[in-house]
Amino acid sequence: MNKYAKRENNLYDPHSKEPFNISRSAIEMFVECPRCFYLDKRLGLGRPSLPGWTLNSAVDKLLKSEFDILRKNGERHALMKEYKIDAVPYNHPDLPVWQNNRSGASVIHAPTNFKITGAIDDIWLNNQTKELHIVDYKSTSIEGEVSLDGEYKESYKRQVEIYQWIFRQMGFPVSQTAYFVYVNALKNLPKFDGKLEFKSTILPYQGDDSWVEPTIFKIKECLDSEVIPAPNENCEYCAYRRFIAQELEEK
């Protein structure tokens, strides 16, 4: 099968009674560009795929394993102690499901009949308030200190806010404070020796999920329409399509 062929499955049908799956990444695509979202979900014309972030995935897996060791015994991680976070890795039988990219945590949004899903990295249980902290792992390699500043990191913030919304809809008490466990690969060491060394940092973030449900209603309106939305003027994918079309017209 041609991987670049028009997709025929997992398309939105306005007349279907079955819940339609809207992933966290799909919501992000809609925020970035409603046209790209519509082309994907209604017409089966997705964006070109990107290569997998295998190094990032390896770091995520190792971090999950590290926190799982402590999860079994209800122990705090050394980073939690360093940053004075009074919490432990949350131990719940459904955690493997919530962390799985093929399933994730999910909830049916009754007004739209959308199944909103998202695969989390981790959850911590606050020892004092008994609220849950959404936790996301990030890996990078930059000079200086990591931060949540920068335009592209706004998507990181929306990511944890969607997770916060999902778990609140599932009935869990969720703290506004989410945490990013950031590991930064050091580039200024004298030699490689076949291994990377990381500096680990925890960045707290005060989430606000008030935008999530209004956006879900906008997604419903978008998908129910027979009109393809206008492109986001900052969308690189739409700009590329436009430039290619112009070049072909001139040939």
Question: What was the pLDDT predicted at 8?
Answer: 85
* pLDDT, tens digit (0-9, with 9 covering 90-100), for 207-246: 999 999 999 999 999 999 999 999 899 999 999 888 888 8
Question: What was the pLDDT predicted at 206?
Answer: 98
Which residues lie closer than 8 Å to 96 by C-beta, 6 or more apart?
Answer: none
Cα torsion angle, 25, 30, 32, 37, sign: positive
* pLDDT, tens digit (0-9, with 9 covering 90-100), for 119-128: 999 999 999 9
User: Tokens 């919490």 sit at which residue?
Assistant: 87
Average pLDDT over residues 1-11: 74
Each domain of the chain, given as residue ranges in start order, spans 20-250
Rounded Cα distance, 219 and 26, in Å: 10
Most confident of 184-188, 228-232, 246-250: 228-232
Q: pTM of the entire structure?
A: 0.93
pLDDT higher than 80, residue 1: no
Q: What is the CATH number of domain 20-250?
A: 3.90.320
What's the number of CA atoms in the CB half-sphere (13 Å) around residue 74?
3
Longest alpha-carbon distance in the chain: 68
